[in-house]
Structure 1
């Protein structure tokens, strides 16, 4: 937007210079025309002999000779005739009208969209995040200015929506374990719960859940601010996936799912702990949303200069248009609210940020046969081979 404004200011200065140049040219032309007309009038007022001499002096360029000035003074009469005043008035009106008209047209073309952007910016500042400026009939820098403002307003609206979702999600995820802790601790204090049972262990699990949520939020904030520290080394992505499958297979079997694996060695530069977190989150998400009795398919392959991790399930997939919202913290599709296996709502958002921190990208898509969702992680292959984890 700043670049477009700078170009608009430059164009205004160029317009001012052009108008100044046009004014100078018109003034010179009018002066020359008035001079020629005046000489013609003087010549017509002379006797034939004097007029012939006067015209000869003009044709020969002797307009600065004494004889020319004598004839001019003798027959010119008043310096400015009434007809001259009328001529000058007409020229002034025409020049002012033409110059003013041109200036008005250009000024309106430049100022109208700027005024519209200014008004819309005031509305956005007052909380109306859905305001946009129409770009119909605009071109060049003004069109770029309006487009930049509309993109900025759309981003602000999205950030506001994400902030509300994040705030509501944090409150929801923290409320459940805190409510359990509060109720159980009141029971212990009032003597309704026997402290000799496994109650302390249950309370500890709730505290650990709270700690995981807080740690995920902290990691998400650091990754979002690009200050997340990574212990980068050469990692075989296939080995990371295989170890994660071993850890999560019991969870998958308990959910009635099987895990299919097809992993090709692929060396990437990554933080082993964070990359394991990425893999675990994706597999856990597939287990949560996979249909009972079906499979979760996991593969690692090399495609060009990238290592590609593919995790797919055979659940219900997601609605068209939700592929980007899946990576918003605490965002849930309407139909996922009834899922029997729930998560914290941070897994995919954290996964996306961790993948980006490693210089990669993550893509969500429904399977071609609409039998589930598929997540693809692209990471740049590593050229080095030292320090393999």
Structure 2
């Protein structure tokens, strides 16, 4: 058998369940037959005991005083044999107190000459199991014949054990029950497995389409099983994100091409004008300055790409040290304000009086904060005024840094993608330069510092990002 051969879930589970069900039912059937056999034997012996007692009472009534009948067993013995509910007739004896047979039903084709030892008759047990000559392993049921308060003999009924324990009808019923339950169980698991595997097969088919970058598929909506629903829903979300990432990758190629082509074209034109003496003196110097600025911008973009790729591959080390985070934030804010003197942004910082220490790489924290502050400033639009508030607080062994801006806010449908690499938003991509790596890069750095970065809320006039680090 090929061990690498794959089989469907439907076939696997129905086959496995059927085998398990059959083994379980066979065990139950064996135990049930054992219990039924024991119960049937006890019931038949009790009935036989009642019949024997009834026979003894009738013999005592119809016989002479102190005597036992010497003729063959009367017809009422045969009338009672049907009560025993067995396919063969039992041996029925009337014996005296010495154990000698007086008469019997003689249905086995020979004159009964059995003698019953006194030990058998003297035992108090009315039901005994003996190995009797010419009969074999049998049950012996006895009942005393009482006349005028004296025991004048016994009614003895002998039945082979095999006859008492005979269960032909019960065997048939158990067999029918096992077969019916097997078929019903197999049909039930088949229907349920088919119902459960249907959405899984649909997801499997959709996964093959996604592998070929084909997102044109539909998945079942009315799934009641929680786990299957979560699988289908997660796959839908994953495929939507993949489709979005495909779109982002296409936009990235176009964006990077545009971002690099524009300054290159500009630099080429400016330098060509200087070379051809189209501009001279101060104007030529101005053209060269513009070219240098465009070159610096391209260097920054390339550096961002290299830094992001290096960090993604865990190629950047972090140096953790214990720092007072309030003082560290003040340094970062001061540095940002110095480099953005011409900005019309109002920056506010609020830190608690109590010193809060964390294990952190100060250079990496500075990168995150600069990215968040630049991102907040860009939300105001070119040349617009706005306010940025940086608030630090301590809660449950965690230090939280909230960066709030009064900008335009983030569109609802864009919120789940803001930490995706190269995502810049529909409006932002036309208003500002860049590659859309700032927030994705900041999130990666925060997580490498045992912290996290998240968007708390965003609406027109207020967007809040939260940066979290464990307190030392």
Q: TM-score under structure 2 normalisation?
A: 0.61
Question: What SS is found at the alignment partner of 1:242?
Answer: helix
Q: How many residue pairs end up in the alignment? A: 358
Residue 372 to residue 67, structure 1, CA distance change in 2 (3 Å): same
Q: Which residue of 2 aligns with 1:101?
A: 184
CA distance in 2 between partners of 1:63 and 1:308 (Å): 92
Q: Match for 2:439 among 344, 348, 364?
A: 348
Alignment counterpart, residue 364 of structure 2, candidates 269, 274, 278: 274
- Between structures 1 and 2, the one with greater helix share: 1
CA distance in 2 between counterparts of 1:29 and 1:51 reads: 34
SS in structure 1 at match of 2:359:
strand
In the other structure, the counterpart of 2:26 is 23
Instruction: Provide Cα deviations, 1:14-41, integer angstroms capped at 9, x if missing partner.
Output: 874453121233256468869969x944
Given the alignment of the two structures, is residue 155 of structure 1 paired with residue 242 of structure 2, yes or no? no
Aligned-pair CA distance for 1:72: 8.9
Aligned to 2:377: 287
Distance 1:42 1:63 in 2: 21
Mapping of 1:179-198 within 5 angstroms?
A: 179-182=262-265, 184-185=267-268, 188=271, 197-198=285-286
Cα gap change, 1:311 to 1:69, in 2 (>3 Å): closer
Match of 1:357 in 2: 448
Structure number with larger C-alpha Rg: 2
Call closer, same or farther: CA 1:304–1:102 in 2, change over 3 Å: closer
CA distance in 2, matches of 1:65, 1:99: 45
Gaps of 5+ in 2: 1-8, 42-83, 93-103, 113-126, 139-157
Aligned counterpart in structure 1 of residue 465 of structure 2, from 375, 382, 388: 375
Measure the CA separation in 2 of the matches of 1:282 and 1:252.
14
Contact 1:234–1:269 under 8 Å retained in 2 = yes
Q: TM-score scaled to structure 1, two decimals?
A: 0.72
Equivalent residue, structure 2, for 1:67? 135
- Give distance in 2, aligned partners of 1:66 and 1:199: 131
Q: Distance in 1 between matches of 2:175 and 2:288?
A: 96
- 3-state SS of 1:327 partner: coil
Residue matched to 1:42: 87
Residues 120 and 133, structure 1, Cα contact 8 Å, conserved in 2 = no
1:298 and 2:390 equivalent?
yes
Q: How does 1:215-364 map to 2 (within 5 A)?
A: 215-249=303-337, 254-264=342-352, 265-290=355-380, 292-320=384-412, 322-336=414-428, 340-364=431-455
CA contact (8 A) 1:290 1:372 kept: no
Secondary structure at the residue paired with 2:467? strand
CA displacement 1:309-340 (0-9 Å, x = unmatched):
222111222234644322222324445456x4
CA contact (8 A) 2:424 2:435 kept: no
Alpha-carbon distance change, 229 to 15 in structure 1, aligned in 2, over 3 angstroms: farther
- What's the offset of the Cα at 1:135? 7.2
CA contact (8 A) 2:223 2:229 kept: no
Partners of 1:14 and 1:297 lie apart in 2 by 63
Which shows bigger deviation, 279-288 or 241-250? 241-250
Say if 1:135 and 1:147, in contact at 8 Å, map to a contact too: no
Which structure has more relative contact order (CA 8 Å, sep 6+)? It is: 1
234-243 vs 311-320, which deviates more? 234-243
Q: CA deviation at 1:272?
A: 2.2
**Contact 1:133 1:150 (8 Å CA) reproduced:** no
Q: Which residue is equivalent to 1:56? A: none
Deviations 1:252-288 (A, max 9, x none): 5534222122234543222222211111111111111
Question: In the alignment, is residue 178 of structure 1 matched against residue 261 of structure 2?
Answer: yes
Distance 1:367 1:175, change over 3 A: closer
Once the two structures are superposed, residues 356-376 of structure 1 have per-residue CA deviations (whole angstroms, 9 ceiling, x without a partner) of 1111122323479x5321212
Summarize the Cα distance change of 1:263–1:50 in structure 2 as closer, same or farther, 3 Å threshold. Answer: farther
Matches of 1:63 and 1:156, distance apart in 2: 80
Q: Is the 8 A contact 1:317 1:372 kept in 2?
A: yes
- Cα distance 1:326–1:197, how it changes in 2: closer, same or farther (>3 A)? same
SS of 2:182 mapped into structure 1: helix
Tell me which protein shows more strand as a share of its residues: 2
